[in-house]
Structures are given as C-alpha cells and as structure tokens.
Amino acid sequence: MKKINKKEAALQKASEIKAESVPGYFKRFLNSHWFPPMLLLALVAVYYWPVISLKGFLWNDFIEQNFPYRLFAAVSLKHGVFPFWTPYVFSGMPFFADVQAAVLYPLNLLLTFLASNDWLSPIAVEYQVIFHVFLAGMFMYLLAREFTCNKPGSVLSAITFMFCGFFTAHIFHVNLIHTAAWFPLIILFFTRALKRRSFIYAALTALVLCIVFFCG
C-alpha cells in the first residue's frame, strides 16, 4: 500500500510539473528571438492568404509589366543570354537599360533557377513580393530595437510599417515594394556606423544601398 501511494504521489508530482511547465515554455517562447519573426511571418501569411492559397492573384501592373519583365529576364538568363534587348515591347526596346527591369537585383536573379521550359510561374514572383513585405517588417523590428524600443514596441513598429498604406496600396508595383523593404536596414547600418564609428557597418550601408539601386 505504501508502495502504491508513493507511485501515485510521483505521478501526481510529475503531472503538476508538466502543468506548470506549459505556461513556462510559452513564456520563454514569447521572450525568445524566434517569436517576433514567426509572428510577423504569420501575420503576412494571414493578410495575403488569398494569394498564397492561390484563391486570388496580384493584378494591375504586376500582370501588365512586372511579371512579364521577370519572365523574360529569368528565361533569357536560363538560356545563357543576357537580356540587353527585348523584342516583345513595342517593336523592340532596350531591356537592361530600363531601370524597372531590375535584372541584377539579387532576389530577381534567384528566379532564374525557377525558370524551366521557357516559363516562370507567376506564383513564384507573387511569393517573392509577399516575402519582401515580411522583410520590411523584420528590418523595421531590428531598427526599432536599435533605437532601444522594447520587444512589444518593436513588434508594433514592424507591423505598422509592413501593413502601412504604402505597402498595401503599392503591392502591385513590385519595384517600389522591393525598394522600400530595405530602407529600415539602411538606416540601421548607417546608425551603427555613426554610433560605433565602424567601417564595417559603413560598408554594409553602401552594400544595401547598391542592392536598392538594383531594385529598380
């Protein structure tokens, strides 16, 4: 009988520890470095779920210009041809010279690997645009933390920035979204370069500025 009581007491103690640990785990998760990016990613996914779930699509300039540009650039590079010229606009026009083509933007170059059979899925380009909204939120979160905001305040800053009128109204204007997403990171690196008198952060500022120029 004594043995059974000990066993029951041990089981009861284990269940109490488990019950107490659930809020503890949740609290640690809220305080972890993973919570802000996961929250921002979840919010972006919810907001753009119709596009992500293929029940809707980006239209306007995305269909008329941005996607055709990405398609032509990706397929050309896939075939080893640098897209200096396009025969598909008017009677032909300089393509690489058009700043909106953004041929050398690193995240556009990645689309080359997704092109196959002379085609690039518009879904990949849509996901790329939505990913930049998430990047905008993450960079703003890091910038707010740099300005000594606490974690809730920084998350709120990130949410406010990535869902502001500019991003929601211009989601069809891919180049604008790509460009605006990097602005908080530029300010972050520039601020650190001034505060710490750091050549490395000054160089990183210049690097991100170059990336922005390639955004178109």
The string of pLDDT tens digits covering residues 159-201 is: 999 999 999 999 999 999 999 999 999 999 999 999 999 999 9
CA 132 to chain centre: 4
- pLDDT of res. 20: 47
HSE toward the beta carbon, residue 204, CA cutoff 13 A: 18
Is the model's pLDDT at 74 over the cut of 60?
Answer: yes
Assess whether pLDDT exceeds 50 at residue 1: no
Q: How far, CA to CA in Å, does 107 sit from each of 47, 80, 155, 168, 199? A: 22, 18, 25, 21, 26
Is residue 5 very low, low, confident or very high in pLDDT (cuts 50, 70, 90)?
Answer: low
Q: What is the pLDDT of residue 91?
A: 92
Cβ 93 vs Cβ 86: under 8 Å: yes
Average pLDDT, rounded, for the chain: 91
Give the mean model confidence (pLDDT) for residues 101-108.
98
Q: What is the pTM of this model?
A: 0.87
